[in-house]
Amino acid sequence: MSTTTTHNHLDDNCIFCKIIKKDIPSFKLLETEKSYAFMDIEPLSEGHSLVIPKYHAEFMHQVPDDYLADIMPLAKKIAAAGGFAQYNVLQNNGKLANQAVPHVHFHIIPKPDQETGLGVRWNPLKKSMDDIKKMFALTKTIPRRQIVSVNKRLNAPVMTTIQYRQLSMWKLVPKLILATTSKSYRKYIIGALGVTSVLSSFLGPVVWVAAGGAASIFGWRLIRKTQSWWDYLAPVLSKGKDIPSISQAILSQIGTHRAAELVRLDAIKELKNFFENTKQGKEMLQAFGLDHFRDLIWEDVHQSSTAKDGNDKHKVNVNFWLEDQASKGPRGGGCEVTASATVSGKGKIDLDQIKLSSPGWHKDEVIPLTL
């Protein structure tokens, strides 16, 4: 594949940039709008090739993400087409790291035997787990409020960005309308909005005043019902219907949101008592790098689930982050809190378990419940 895209991010004095612009000949293998692959003229083994971004930067962290994302698929195609049984993919940054050309480039180096291909000298440093913890805290390459989960098929960590889920009626109602109504009902809703807009052009604000009044009555009825939020932790379906109505779905969302927040508050009370009044709690704070008890940041719930457990009971699980933003350097830490509770009767909440997790730093810890 060739490209005629104008190259606005290249350096006239860079040899790799000149190759991209065809000012210097090369044995081209593949080319896209953002990447260029060609044979290395000083190969370590037969089939040694390079993939470079069409963006001049000396270090990998200076290259835009969309250029970097384009490189690995090309490297994969080259390795597959070459039929290499074993190979190395190498990328160096800086002279001390053996970077010969100050333009980011990735090597695909076949390793057919011990003598040819890449030779690696690997001298691991002798470091204790405490040293590793300090280095982890200093570098903090994983941004706050991200979770590391495990892909069961690949048995490898997967980064999942946490998104806060505050209750927003402006976002909630349109989604519920689409999720809880059939196609024919959606047509009626859209049609009603269209008719209202047309009528308002003739009748003026009277139409919108009437619509606002109807919405106010609808909202007032919902607010009255949500005072008994525990009755709406699961959608209450009308007789003979499989899909909840809009009001039923809204009540369920409000009920589950309220339950999640109350479970979070109860978990925070337990944790504060545990950290402040027990030796084990103080030691655990140190282990997770949470040194300033009174300066801890209790984040909002970012994930929650609700399941029916019997006639009048529900299991509620919530996840939120706990952070110490007062400590600096290697002493600042954080962990994810997972709290499970049973909601019964008229909103009675009984905590079942509280667990602290910090993937890659500390093993999971289950907190004893005392309150």
Instruction: List, for residues 73-86, the tens digit of each pLDDT value.
Output: 999 999 988 889 99
Domain membership of residue 36 (yes or no) is yes
The answer to whether position 67 is within a domain reads: yes
Amino acid identity for residue 66 in this structure: D
pLDDT of amino acid 7: 60
User: How do strand 49-53 and strand 87-90 relate by DSSP bridges?
Assistant: unpaired
Question: What's the CA gap between 57 and 63, in Å, rounded?
Answer: 6
pLDDT in tens, 19-42: 999 999 999 999 999 999 999 998
Write the DSSP assignment of 149-160 as a string of letters: EEETTTTEEEEE
The residue to which tokens 């000083």 are assigned = 42
Domain end marker among 67, 95, 110: 110
Q: Which domain holds residue 354?
A: 258-367
Residue 34 lies in a domain: yes
Each residue's pLDDT tens digit, 126-164: 888 888 777 776 664 444 443 333 333 334 443 333 333
Sign, CA dihedral 216-217-218-224, equals positive
**Rounded to two decimals, what is the model's pTM?**
0.44
- 173-201 confidence digits (pLDDT tens): 555 554 444 555 556 666 766 776 666 66
pLDDT grade for 235, boundaries at 50, 70 and 90: low
Q: Domain of 60: which CATH number?
A: 3.30.428.10
The answer to whether position 239 is within a domain reads no
In the set 105, 107, 257, 314, the catalytic residue is 105
More confident residue, 28 or 256: 28
Euclidean distance between CA atoms 300 and 305, whole angstroms: 15
Residue 267: which H helix or E strand, with range? Answer: helix 246-277
Residue after which a domain boundary falls, among 57, 81, 110:
110
In a domain, 213, yes or no: no
d(CA 240, CA 243): 9
**What average pLDDT score do residues 292-297 get?**
70
Please indicate, yes or no, if residue 8 is contained in any of the structural domains. Answer: no
The answer to whether position 241 is within a domain reads no
Query: For the chain, how long is the longest CA-to-CA vector?
Result: 87
- How far apart are the two ends of the chain, measured CA to CA in Å? 67
Q: Where are the beta strands (DSSP E) in 55-200?
A: 87-90, 106-110, 146-151, 156-161
Number of structural domains the chain divides into: 2
Cβ contact 149:157 at 8 Å: yes
Cα–Cα distance list, 118 to 58, 125, 256, 317 (Å): 22, 22, 57, 50
β-strand partners of 313: 344
What CATH number did the domain enclosing 346 receive? 3.10.450
Active site residue 107: no
Q: Which of 110, 142, 175 is the last residue of a domain?
A: 110
**249 vs 255: CA distance, rounded Å:** 10
**What pLDDT does 163 receive?**
36
Domain-located, residue 245: no
**Angle, alpha carbons 346-237-305 (nearest 5°):** 60
What pLDDT score was predicted for residue 131? 80
Burial of 60 per CB tally in 10 Å (0-12, 13-18, 19+): middle
What pLDDT, on the 0 to 100 scale, is given for residue 49? 95
Mean pLDDT of all residues belonging to the chain? 75
